[in-house]
Amino acid sequence: MIRAGTAADLALLVDLESRCFGSASWGSGLLEAALTADQVLVTTAGDGYAIVRVVADTADLDRIAVLDESRRRGVGSMLLEAALDRAARQGATRVLLEVADDNAAAVRLYDREGFVEIHRRPGYYPSGAAAIVMERVEVADSPPHGTVVA
C-alpha cells in the first residue's frame, strides 16, 4: 500500500502537491531533491504521499497529503505511521512538524498519533493562522518508569 518514492514519481508528486496545497505547493525542485534524498513515501494507488527528513536524532515531517476523494479512509494515518516507522529506523528519537491551527483534519490526525503541541507561532501563515509546532517522542524502546537499567 505504501512504497518509497523514486525519481519516476516527480510528475505524480507535482500533481499531488498542487491538488492538495494549491498556491502553497512546493516547486518541482524541492520535490526532486526530496526524491533524490530518499525522503518520500507514496501510496501505491498514487493518492497520497509523505515527506520525512531525518537529521541526526530528529525527524521533520515536511509534507503529508491525501487527495480529497481518498480522505477519511485511513490513508493519511497509514502514511503517517509509515513515515514514523521510517524515521525511527533511520535513528530518529523524536519527530517534529508544523501545522496551521485552523487545519482541523491534520491537527486531529497528529493528535491521534501521539503528537503534542510544544510551541505556537501566531500569524505565521499568510492566512493569519498560527503555526502549531508538534512533537512526538519515540518511547517504544524506553524502559518503563522506575526500571533500573544495569
Ligand X SMILES: CC(C)(COP(=O)(O)OP(=O)(O)OC[C@H]1O[C@@H](n2cnc3c(N)ncnc32)[C@H](O)[C@@H]1OP(=O)(O)O)[C@@H](O)C(=O)NCCC(=O)NCCS
Strands 116-121 and 131-137: antiparallel
**41, 11, 40: which is closest to 28 by C-alpha?**
11
Per CB under 6 A, which of residues 110..149 are in contact with ligand X? 112
Q: Which stretch in 34-42, 61-69, 85-93, 134-142 sits in contact with ligand X by CB under 6 A?
A: 61-69
> What is the total count of residues that contact ligand X (CB under 6 A)?
19
Applying CB under 6 A, does 74 fall inside the site for ligand X?
A: yes
Applying CB under 6 A, does 77 fall inside the site for ligand X?
A: yes
Nearer to ligand X, 94 or 147 (CB): 94
Q: Tell me the backbone φ, ψ of residue 13, rounded to 5 degrees.
A: -65, -40
* Selected binder of ligand X within 33, 85, 108, 128 (CB under 6 A): 108
CB 121 within 8 A of CB 100: no
Rounded to whole angstroms, the Cα distance separating 20 from 122 reads: 23
Rounded to whole angstroms, the Cα distance separating 46 from 58 reads: 28
* Selected binder of ligand X within 19, 53, 71, 94 (CB under 6 A): 71
* Selected binder of ligand X within 4, 37, 105, 137 (CB under 6 A): 105
Applying CB under 6 A, does 73 fall inside the site for ligand X?
A: yes
DSSP readout, 61-103?
Answer: EEEEEE-GGGTTSSHHHHHHHHHHHHHHHTT-SEEEEEEETT-
* Selected binder of ligand X within 58, 90, 93, 103 (CB under 6 A): 103
Nearer to ligand X, 20 or 35 (CB): 20
Contacts with ligand X, residue ranges (CB under 6 A): 20, 64-66, 71-77, 99, 103-106, 108-109, 112
